């Protein structure tokens, strides 16, 4: 009996200690607005819980590499973490619909898509013992190159940085050569000639100082991808109700604040690209038409082979 009581006491102490001090891995640097938003979220949780939940943010993949963050939360190595949602597309295509070219290209459509995705994503993550807390969009994705791109034909043969399966497919259909490169490795990949072009947000362009290795940027607004913050279900369930309520309230505020930050970033960061010498030019009708045709081909393939979850999201989004 004594052993049982001692074991139960140690377990309670362990749970309390964990709840008081949480490590949170994130993949992006401290100057990226996603990280800034998450640090504010951590501060608000700490204040609202009276220090019961004290989150330490480990940015730029310093605690776990980007690709390992979700599983680190799932396995309980850390209680909470952030990752790029479409990284999970190999688990289910529903995770990657925000990276489907030209499906949702504005913040309004991206919000509608997230509203359609969220119930499905919640179900998928629940099967892995995870709860989605909030999601924040990146600015719409634009094209970085060392020359003006007038049509899809101009992309043929270019070594093209990819960050998920959808972008790999997109680049390949455009005739480019896709190569997986994490955001933190972009400058080195360009410096070594591993890649020579990319599709990403103006935020990532600025944080990676894209003007050091590319000269042209065009806002094709191909898609509006998102980051996702998740928490381990068991850790969340072990909290008292006041702490649960505080975390969910802070998460709702972080989502609203993060989307507003993203919209503001679109203009300010594009201006910074220009201020640092990059040529910013509007995409030609021919380029947009060609890119949209690729997106349509990818969507047809997705609908033909997509999971039940994926088709549910698409059906809800199109209402």
pTM above threshold 0.85 = yes
Q: Is residue 44 part of a domain?
A: yes
My answer on whether 27 and 121 are in the same domain is yes
Q: Is residue 238 part of a domain?
A: yes
Q: Is 283 helix (H, G, I), strand (E, B) or coil?
A: coil
Q: Is a pLDDT exceeding 90 seen at residue 137? A: yes
pLDDT at 235: 97
My answer on whether 235 and 190 are in the same domain is no
My answer on whether 159 and 293 are in the same domain is yes
My answer on whether 25 and 167 are in the same domain is no
| CATH code, domain with 66 | 3.40.190.170
Q: Is a pLDDT exceeding 60 seen at residue 5? A: no
> How many domains does the chain fold into?
2
Q: Is residue 56 part of a domain?
A: yes
My answer on whether 199 and 311 are in the same domain is yes
CA distance 194 to 180: 10
Give CA separation, 116 vs 83, 155, 176, 309, 314, in Å: 20, 33, 32, 11, 8
Tokens encoding 67: 């690709």
Average pLDDT score over residue span 285-295: 97
Burial class (CB in 10 A: 0-12, 13-18, 19+), 38: buried
Q: 200 lies in which domain range? A: 142-223+276-317
Selection from 99, 63, 67, 94 nearest residue 83 by Cα: 67
Q: Is a pLDDT exceeding 80 seen at residue 14? A: no
Q: Is residue 2 part of a domain?
A: no
Residue with more model confidence, 95 or 7: 95
Q: Is residue 13 part of a domain?
A: no
CA angle 311, 312, 314 (to 5 degrees): 60
My answer on whether 178 and 193 are in the same domain is yes
Average pLDDT score over residue span 41-56: 98
Write out pLDDT tens, residues 145-180. 999 999 999 999 999 999 988 899 999 999 999 999
My answer on whether 162 and 47 are in the same domain is no
Q: Is a pLDDT exceeding 50 seen at residue 3? A: no
Q: Which residues contact 7 (CB under 8 A, 6 or more apart)?
A: none
pLDDT at 295: 96
Neighbours of 306 (CB within 10 A): 18
CA torsion, points 198, 202, 204, 208, in degrees to nearest 10?
80
Q: Is a pLDDT exceeding 90 seen at residue 233? A: yes
Average pLDDT score over residue span 278-282: 98
Element (H or E) spanning 46, and its range?
helix 33-48
Give CA separation, 283 vs 152, 213, 218, in Å: 11, 20, 6
Q: Is residue 74 part of a domain?
A: yes
Q: Is 127 helix (H, G, I), strand (E, B) or coil?
A: coil
My answer on whether 74 and 54 are in the same domain is yes
Selection from 235, 283, 227 nearest residue 255 by Cα: 227
My answer on whether 125 and 260 are in the same domain is yes
pLDDT at 195: 98
Average pLDDT score over residue span 52-69: 97
My answer on whether 53 and 123 are in the same domain is yes
pLDDT at 271: 97
My answer on whether 129 and 149 are in the same domain is no
My answer on whether 234 and 250 are in the same domain is yes
Q: Is a pLDDT exceeding 50 seen at residue 7? A: no
Q: Is a pLDDT exceeding 60 seen at residue 266? A: yes
pLDDT at 20: 78
Report residue 6's pLDDT band, with 50, 70 and 90 as the boundaries: very low
- Partner residues linked to 198 by β-bridges: 144, 161
């Amino acid at each position: 009996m004594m052993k049982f009581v001692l074991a139960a006491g140690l377990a309670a102490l362990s749970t309390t200690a964990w709840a008081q001090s949480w490590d949170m891995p994130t993949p992006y640097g401290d100057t990226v607005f996603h990280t800034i938003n998450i640090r504010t979220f951590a501060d608000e949780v700490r204040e609202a819980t009276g220090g019961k939940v004290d989150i330490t943010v480990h940015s730029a993949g310093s605690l776990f590499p980007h690709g390992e963050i979700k599983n680190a939360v799932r396995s309980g190595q850390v209680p909470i973490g952030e990752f790029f949602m479409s990284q999970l597309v190999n688990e289910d295509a529903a995770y990657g619909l925000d990276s489907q070219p030209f499906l949702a290209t504005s913040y309004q459509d991206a919000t509608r898509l997230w509203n359609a995705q969220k119930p499905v994503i919640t179900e998928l993550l629940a099967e892995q013992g995870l709860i989605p807390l909030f999601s924040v969009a990146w600015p719409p994705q634009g094209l970085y190159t060392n020359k003006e791109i007038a049509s899809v034909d101009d992309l043929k043969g270019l070594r093209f940085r990819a960050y998920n399966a959808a972008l790999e497919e997109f680049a390949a259909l455009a005739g480019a050569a896709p190569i997986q490169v994490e955001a933190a490795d972009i400058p080195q990949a360009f410096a070594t000639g591993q890649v020579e072009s990319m599709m990403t947000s103006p935020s990532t362009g600025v944080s990676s100082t894209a003007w050091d290795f590319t000269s042209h940027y065009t806002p094709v607004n191909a898609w509006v991808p998102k980051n996702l913050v998740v928490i381990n279900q068991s850790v969340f369930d072990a909290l008292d109700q006041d702490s649960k309520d505080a975390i969910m309230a802070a998460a709702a505020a972080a989502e609203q604040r993060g989307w507003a930050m993203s919209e503001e970033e679109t203009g300010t960061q594009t201006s910074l690209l220009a201020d640092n010498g990059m040529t910013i030019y509007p995409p030609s009708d021919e380029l947009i038409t060609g890119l949209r045709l690729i997106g349509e081909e990818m969507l047809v393939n997705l609908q033909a082979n997509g999971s039940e979850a994926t088709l549910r999201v698409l059906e809800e989004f199109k209402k």
